[in-house]
């Protein structure tokens, strides 16, 4: 996604961008939303079952992905949907998604480390 799909936004023709982007965000929502909900639910469940620094860190990381998503990425997607193909907004979207990708990767790595330590 991060290295292929988002950067390719700039190559979609301006005339069809709004309609294409609307369909793209709708389809991606069906994939991303359940995963984000599951991740947050798992993080909160871990924290509720055992209050520890690692579980707290995991919950904070999951919360951070939600904050970046809904305070930065979603408004950028809405802007693209309203204004069309704007390279500056696409660059900001790619950057915000790097933040989310990094957070998700760190959370996954933390989960792997915890699994193999157990």
Largest CA distance in the chain: 54
Mean pLDDT, residues 84-104: 92
User: 21 in a domain, yes or no?
Assistant: no
Give the domain range for residue 48.
Answer: 5-11+36-117
What is this structure's pTM?
Answer: 0.85
| C-alpha–C-alpha distance, residues 11 and 8, integer Å | 5
| C-alpha–C-alpha distance, residues 78 and 61, integer Å | 24
Count of domains for the chain: 1
How far, in Å, are 69, 77, 101 from residue 94 at the CA level? 12, 11, 10
User: 62 in a domain, yes or no?
Assistant: yes
28-68 pLDDT, tens per residue?
999 999 999 999 998 889 889 988 898 899 999 999 999 99
User: 92 in a domain, yes or no?
Assistant: yes
């Amino acid at each position: 996604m991060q290295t292929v799909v988002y950067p390719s936004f700039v190559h979609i023709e301006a005339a069809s961008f709004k309609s294409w982007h609307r369909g793209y965000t709708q389809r991606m929502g069906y994939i991303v939303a359940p995963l984000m909900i599951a991740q947050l639910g798992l993080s909160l469940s871990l924290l509720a079952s055992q209050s520890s620094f690692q579980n707290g860190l995991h919950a904070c990381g999951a919360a951070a992905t939600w904050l970046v998503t809904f305070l930065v990425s979603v408004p950028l997607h809405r802007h693209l949907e309203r204004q069309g193909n704007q390279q500056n907004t696409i660059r900001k979207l790619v950057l915000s998604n790097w933040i989310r990708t990094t957070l998700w990767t760190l959370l996954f790595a933390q989960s792997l480390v915890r699994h193999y330590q157990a």
